[in-house]
Amino acid sequence: MQQKLGEILRRHDLLTDEQLVHALALQKRSGSRLGDVLIGEGMIGYLPLYQAIAEHYNLPFVDLIKEPPDFALFDKVHPEECLALRVIPWRIKDGKPHVAVSEMSYETVRWSRRQFGKDVMMVITSPHDIRRAIETRFSIGFESKSRLSLWQRFPDISARTIATTEQKNIFYAIAILALGTALFSPLAVVMAFMALCHLAYSATMIFKCIAFAEGNSVPTGEDWTARIAALDEHSLPVYTVLVPMYHETPSLPRLLQALENLDYPTSKLDIKLVLEADDAAMIQAAFALKPSHHFDIIRVPPGMIRTKPKACNYALHFARGEMVTVFDADDVPDPLQLKKAVITLRNMLPEVACLQARLNYFNTNDNLLTRFFSLEYTMLFHFMLYGLERIGIPIPLGGTSNHIALSRLKGLGEWDPYNVTEDADLGTRLAAQGMRTAMLDSYTMEEAPNTIALWVRQRSRWIKGYMQTWLVHMRQPVTLAQSLGFKGFLGFQCFIGLPCFSFLTAPIVWALSFWLISHKEILHHSLFADWLIWVGITNLVLYLITHWGIALYSALLYEDHRPSMIIAALFYPFYLILHTIASYRAFWQLIVRPHFWDKTIHGLAKPPMMALSEEK
């Protein structure tokens, strides 16, 4: 077919001889269809290509924009089948049903005859128009499914319900018990509360130190040159890249350039720019920039909630890839990241279902806040997550640059649209199903919020999502412990639950500590109170030493801004005070607006620069 199609294209002067030779070489190397190569390389548009394909098959070509399908016929078909086969019913003409396909194959002919009988007639149209027709007809149903599917399939692990009746009753019982005891012995309640908090602080600190130490012993930054060169592009899977965006117009040019720089066969790239249907400015800007044909603009219809995971679930209905990843609007990924992910997964054990790339920020040196944020991400993505992988503790995924097989993602129920940290939730669900997440030796640079107001909005959403994730998965703690194992369950508490608890209770504990110190008569008559004060002082000293040490060690990775990063590291413990402010905001939103997605504004930072020495 390729040669004949090429002859038709040349005869109509749609390709030069040089372009055809180049396209055939790419087709041979990648194993893709010639049409996909031509579209992916931008050599031709959908309309002239599929007019030529129609001529090749000696079938009529139909432009679905000018001659839209009869949507009444769609009631007889399943949209998922139509999308997979790239086929839709078109019209009844001359008493015979006509089906529009993007190519003739055994599967499309068999499907057409099964649905509409042996007298069915075929016409050719572009797969892009088929997708748009299906989206037009089924968008409301797809939106509902993307929002409710997980809750309908696995209600016990959906954040649509924040706290179950049983959980609420437990919280009420604890509160009543504490208040009742406080009436008779308020000092005992204060002592018990402070002891519990200090135990939580110590556990969290010890856990972070162990994870950091384990992660520091894992070698990274291997030489990929030979492995990439040896990769057979014919064996590469089609890769779906989801990019959900909402009011992100300033970031769009940089984002498109970063995606264009991905080193992957364009014929096997399925990039979805996932936009909200009522975000007219964003849609207009996307079309104005004229992205390549392997970019697909998906419009998510309005619904009861507007969250990133719901938008991604909606876009998955149109995904063509075997593998899927997500990038944010402000991302600048390593151009080799997709190839590295394929190679890494092929060399992992079968239970490794997901890979998480390292994340950091390209605007590290904007101000002290962005330096703090960059240090935090260095600790997390360059050390602690590697440590979790090494120890065997579930890795809470980042919101971007995680790579998973589409079939496994769908088997898990996709993302939870009601969880505002769908990434951490998915990482926990993966582990609970016996699958593992591994770190990927690749990076994605992002834009850090460079004002305190923006930082608090973003961080409060993350903390609210961690609270949601903890409440959801602790509905059945025994089952969770059995599925994660002792280490995994302990790690879940120390990484997901206890940090939220610590940030919320820290001001209360220190206020009580100062109150006890100011009432010396209590200290004189209570050995336990005196002991708690010393435990608190010890915890504070260890807290400062630990975070100073880890932050200073992480600051040494920065070559370009090392002096300023070292200064930031010296003040890093005080940065964590902001987490308490964000935690109280998160807790309030968990009560009054649990599913509200507090949008992070991007496009305010300086142009990207590689921040870490190993990523330069």
> Average pLDDT in the 92-106 region?
92
User: Is residue 607 scored above 60 in pLDDT?
Assistant: no
The predicted model scores a pTM of 0.93
DSSP letter, residue 395: P
User: Is residue 65 scored above 60 in pLDDT?
Assistant: yes
pLDDT category, 212, cuts 50, 70, 90?
very high
Average pLDDT, the chain: 90
How much is the pLDDT for 185?
83
Domains contained in the chain, CATH given: 1-50 (no CATH), 59-138 (3.30.300.160), 158-616 (3.90.550.10)
How much is the pLDDT for 557?
85
Distance CA 431, CA 422 (A): 14
Distance CA 218, CA 459 (A): 28
> Average pLDDT in the 114-125 region?
93
How much is the pLDDT for 393?
92
Instruction: Give residue-wise pLDDT tens across range 131-161.
Output: 999 999 999 999 999 999 999 999 999 999 9
pLDDT category, 613, cuts 50, 70, 90?
very low
User: Is residue 612 scored above 80 in pLDDT?
Assistant: no
Instruction: Give residue-wise pLDDT tens across range 317-352.
Output: 999 999 999 999 999 999 999 999 999 999 999 999
DSSP letter, residue 61: B
How much is the pLDDT for 615?
44
Q: Under DSSP, is residue 404 helix (H, G, I), strand (E, B) or coil?
A: strand
How much is the pLDDT for 274?
97
DSSP letter, residue 12: T
Phi then psi for 68, rounded to 5 degrees? -65, 155
User: Is residue 614 scored above 80 in pLDDT?
Assistant: no
Residue with the two structure tokens 């520091």: 216
Instruction: Give residue-wise pLDDT tens across range 544-570.
Output: 888 899 999 999 888 777 899 999 999
Distance CA 287, CA 285 (A): 6
Instruction: Give residue-wise pLDDT tens across range 220-269.
Output: 667 898 899 999 999 999 999 999 999 999 999 999 999 999 999 999 99
Could you tell me which of 558, 594, 474 has the C-alpha nearest to residue 160?
Answer: 594
Instruction: Give residue-wise pLDDT tens across range 233-247.
Output: 999 999 999 999 999
How much is the pLDDT for 453?
94
Q: Which residue has the higher pLDDT, 2 or 80?
A: 80
DSSP letter, residue 267: G
Q: Are 324 and 397 in contact (CB under 8 A)?
A: no
Phi then psi for 242, rounded to 5 degrees? -95, 130
How much is the pLDDT for 402?
95
Sort 277 into a burial class: Cβ within 10 Å, 0-12 / 13-18 / 19+. middle
DSSP letter, residue 564: H
How much is the pLDDT for 513?
82
Instruction: Give residue-wise pLDDT tens across range 351-410.
Output: 999 999 999 999 999 999 999 999 999 999 999 999 999 998 999 998 899 999 999 999
How much is the pLDDT for 476?
93
Could you tell me which of 279, 274, 285 has the C-alpha nearest to residue 243?
Answer: 274
> Average pLDDT in the 172-194 region?
87
Q: Under DSSP, is residue 429 helix (H, G, I), strand (E, B) or coil?
A: helix
Question: Helices (DSSP H) in 355-444: which residue ranges?
Answer: 368-379, 385-391, 406-411, 422-432
> Average pLDDT in the 472-497 region?
94
